[in-house]
Amino acid sequence: MTKGRDQVDTQRFEKILDETLGEKRRHHSRMVSKAAAELARRYGGDPEQAAFAGLVHDIAKEMKPDAQLQTMEKYSILLDDVERVTPKLWHAIAGYALLKYEYGVADEDVLEAVRWHTTGRKGLSRLGKIVYLADCISEDRDYPGVEQARAAAARSLDAGYLDSLERSIRTLLDRGALLHLGTVEARNELLLAAK
C-alpha cells in the first residue's frame, strides 16, 4: 500500500465509521488506532498499517447480531463451537468479512488482525498482537488493572499481549463464561516459548 492510498483509505473509512458507529465507539476506534501506531513504532511494525487496522477493528461492532450472523453466512465463514454460541465474538469475524468482501480491503495482515482482535489466537502476527493489545490499553480504557496492562505493554509486545490474554481469561472464568480456545492457545504458546 502506498502512502497516498493509505490516506485515502483512512478518510474513506472515517466516513464509513461516522455512518456505522456511535460517537463513543468512534472515539474508542481513534484511540485504538493511536495506541496501535505507538506500539508499532515501539515494536517494529508499520505504524500506518497499525493505525488503519486499529481504526477499523470494530467496524461491525454496532451491527445487530442477526446482521453479523448473516454477513458471516453470506461469505461462508465457518464458526467453531464457542464462536457459534457467543454473539459477542461475532463483530470481529463479521468485521473481517465486511472489510474483505464489501469494502475491498486487500491487506491480509489487517484483515487477520481484525478477525482475531477479541480472542487472540496461536500464531497471531505481530500486527494482530498489536491490535489486540491496543484494544486493551487505549487511552479511553478504564478498568481495574489497566495500568498494569499498560506497564506490561511497555515491557514488550509479548508481555503486554500475555497480560491482556490472562486478564481476559480470568474475567471470563469469574463470569462462568465459555472460553475461546484461541485465547488459551495463545497464552500457552507464549508460556512454552519462555521455557
Stretches 11-19, 47-55, 85-93, 121-129: which one binds ligand ADP (CB under 6 A)?
85-93
Q: Which long-range contacts (CB under 8 A, 24 or more apart) does 50-54 make?
A: 50/127, 50/130, 50/131, 50/134, 51/10, 52/6, 52/9, 52/10, 52/13, 52/107, 52/110, 53/109, 53/110, 53/113, 53/114, 53/127, 53/130, 53/131, 54/29, 54/131, 54/134, 54/135, 54/138
Q: Would you say how long the chain is, in residues?
A: 195
Q: Which three cell numbers stand for residue 48?
A: 500506518
Considering only residues 115 to 144 of the shown chain, the ones binding ligand ADP according to CB under 6 A are 118-119, 135
Per CB under 6 A, the list member of 89, 99, 134, 186 interacting with ligand ADP is 89
Which C-beta is closer to ligand ADP: that of 46 or that of 114? 114
Using CB under 6 A as the binding rule, whether residue 71 contacts ligand ADP is answered as: no
Considering only residues 29 to 68 of the shown chain, the ones binding ligand ADP according to CB under 6 A are none
Query: One symbol per residue from 147 to 186: x for binding ligand ADP (CB under 6 A), - otherwise; what is it?
Result: ---------------------x---x----xxxx--x---
**Which residues of the shown chain bind ligand ADP in the complex (CB under 6 A)?**
86, 88-89, 118-119, 135, 168, 172, 177-180, 183
